[in-house]
């Protein structure tokens, strides 16, 4: 991560401007898979901001900029409406609602967004393991947050049967890692303990509070908020062969605990967000052809997400235009 991100005072970290592998770009303001954009919004332009983690940023499994679902969403709207649009992908791999809220009020509000689209769920489960340390979220005992300190920022590589044989050799280890695609951009511990069948319910209130803060900030800055119910491969009837693709160990919870957590996360969205502002993408859940793994959509999946999101946004814009008339 240190190769493509800076430490940020308000959102833990932000993208480092540049062009990276697999057609990924970070613009001069640190926004991933986002065309260059001016702070001042052009006249008669609708500006959309997307917030989320790696499934929104198109990392985890890197997607080309134009294959991310925010990019596809705006393209679909442009193809179907005669309104000027631009957008910012404010997501980054590993972001929770904590980082997204920090980025919204500290950076993104200065870009005067008209619409904010939030897509969180999977990374919120960090809270269910970190309730006791939430007041010192992602910092060390000395108060600093760095990429190069053990415990916070790691690249997740799929296990390999050769690992025990080569771990003594730095040269062989470097060769193995250089020829293996990591799970890019995720932040968190690599857990090796037995999977837990339950989680700390107090974490749900952290998610609720962050969602309310995002909601109220959007109201303050005059932006219309939409919240996705995040699609996931993890569903009750998921075949065992597909469950092997799911990173249950990332949070340390088993299959049923993940199911329960997502349902409770969705319930809080229903309770805190108006129904007309909810975008339900869970119709795509449990579809292996739409996912690389447990949460990251492939290009087919991003197309389907973009179709759902663009339809909701276009309906809102058309209704707003009719209301003005």
Mean of the per-residue pLDDT values for the chain?
89
Determine contact, residues 116/224, Cβ cutoff 8 Å: yes
pLDDT attached to residue 148: 58
pLDDT value, residue 171: 67
For the residues 248-264, what does the mean pLDDT come to? 95
Check residues 176 and 242 and name the one with the higher pLDDT: 242
Cα(39)–Cα(314) distance, integer angstroms? 24
Predicted pLDDT at 174: 60
pLDDT at 133: 80
CB-based contact 268:211 (threshold 8 Å): yes
Return the pLDDT at 284. 98
Q: What share of the chain has pLDDT > 70, as a percent? A: 85
CA gyration radius for the chain? 19
Q: Convert 201-213 to b/e letters by CB count within 10 Å (16 or more is b).
A: eebbebbbebbeb
pLDDT of res. 21: 82
User: Quick one: which of 211, 59, 56 has its CA closest to 124?
Assistant: 211
Architecture of domain 5-144+189-324: 3-Layer(aba) Sandwich (3.40)
308 has a pLDDT exceeding 60: yes
pLDDT of residue 163: 67
User: How confident is the model at residue 268, as a pLDDT?
Assistant: 98
pLDDT over 90 at 16, yes or no: yes
Q: How far apart are CA 311 and CA 291, in angstroms?
A: 21
What are 65-93's pLDDT values in tens digits? 999 999 999 999 999 999 999 999 999 99
* Residue that is written with structure tokens 């997607």 in the block: 63
* CB half-sphere exposure, 3, CA atoms < 13 A: 7
* Crossing angle (nearest 10°) for helices 202-221 and 255-272: 40
**What is the domain partition of the chain in residue ranges?**
5-144+189-324
Residue 90 DSSP class: -
Cα–Cα distance, 57 to 15 (Å, whole number):
11
For the four alpha carbons of 169, 173, 174 and 175, in that order, the dihedral sign comes to positive
pLDDT for res 154: 41
User: Which among 91, 154, 76 has a CA at the least distance from the CA of 121?
Assistant: 91
The pLDDT > 90 percentage for the chain reads 72
Strand 84-89 with 278-280, pairing: unpaired
Q: Averaged over 200-225, what is the pLDDT?
A: 97
Lowest mean pLDDT among 129-133, 191-195, 210-214: 191-195
The beta strands (E) that lie in the chain are given as 5-8, 12-15, 18-20, 24-26, 45-52, 84-89, 115-120, 224-229, 278-280
**What average pLDDT does range 282-304 have in this prediction?**
97
Kindly report, residue by residue over 110-158, the tens digit of the pLDDT.
999 999 999 999 999 999 987 888 888 888 777 777 765 544 444 445 5
pLDDT at 263 over 90: yes
Q: Which of 20, 37, 175, 217 is nearest to 28 (CA)?
A: 37
Residue among 71, 89, 88, 92 at smallest CA distance from 14: 92
Q: What share of the chain is helix, strand, coil (3-state, %, to 5)?
A: 45, 15, 40
- The angle, 0 to 180 degrees and rounded to 10, between the axes of the packed helices 97-106 and 202-221 is 20
Is the whole model's pTM more than 0.85, yes or no?
yes
User: Angle CA(309)–CA(287)–CA(31) in degrees, nearest 5?
Assistant: 45
CA atoms within 13 A on the CB side of 310: 21
**pLDDT level of residue 180 (50, 70, 90 thresholds):** low
């Amino acid at each position: 991560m240190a190769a493509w991100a800076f430490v940020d005072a308000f959102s833990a970290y932000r993208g480092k401007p540049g062009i990276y592998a697999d057609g990924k770009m970070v613009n001069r303001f640190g926004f991933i898979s986002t065309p260059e954009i001016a702070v001042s919004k052009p006249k008669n332009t609708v500006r959309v901001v997307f917030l989320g983690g790696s499934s929104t940023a198109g990392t985890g499994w890197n997607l080309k900029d134009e294959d991310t679902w925010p990019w596809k969403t705006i393209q679909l709207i442009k193809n179907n409406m005669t309104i000027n649009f631009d957008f910012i992908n404010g997501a980054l791999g590993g972001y929770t609602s904590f980082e997204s809220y920090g980025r919204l009020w500290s950076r993104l509000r200065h870009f005067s967004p008209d619409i904010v689209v939030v897509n969180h769920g999977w990374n919120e489960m960090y809270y269910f393991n970190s309730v006791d340390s939430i007041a010192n979220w992602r910092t060390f005992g000395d108060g600093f947050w760095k990429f190069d300190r053990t415990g916070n920022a790691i690249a997740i590589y799929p296990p390999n049967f050769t690992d025990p044989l080569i771990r003594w050799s730095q040269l062989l280890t470097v060769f193995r890692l250089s020829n293996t695609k990591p799970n890019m951009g995720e932040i968190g511990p690599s857990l090796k303990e037995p999977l837990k069948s339950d989680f700390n319910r107090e974490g749900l209130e952290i998610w609720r509070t962050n969602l309310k803060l995002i909601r109220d900030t959007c109201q303050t800055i005059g932006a219309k908020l939409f919240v996705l119910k995040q699609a996931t491969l993890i569903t009750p009837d998921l075949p065992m062969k597909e469950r092997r693709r799911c990173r249950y160990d990332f949070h340390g919870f088993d299959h049923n605990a993940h199911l329960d957590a997502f349902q409770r996360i969705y319930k809080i969205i229903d309770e805190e967000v108006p129904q007309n502002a909810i975008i339900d993408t869970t119709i795509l859940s449990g579809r292996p052809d739409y996912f690389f793994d447990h949460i990251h959509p492939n290009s087919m999946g991003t197309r389907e997400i973009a179709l759902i999101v663009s339809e909701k946004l276009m309906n809102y814009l058309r209704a707003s235009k009719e209301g003005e008339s």
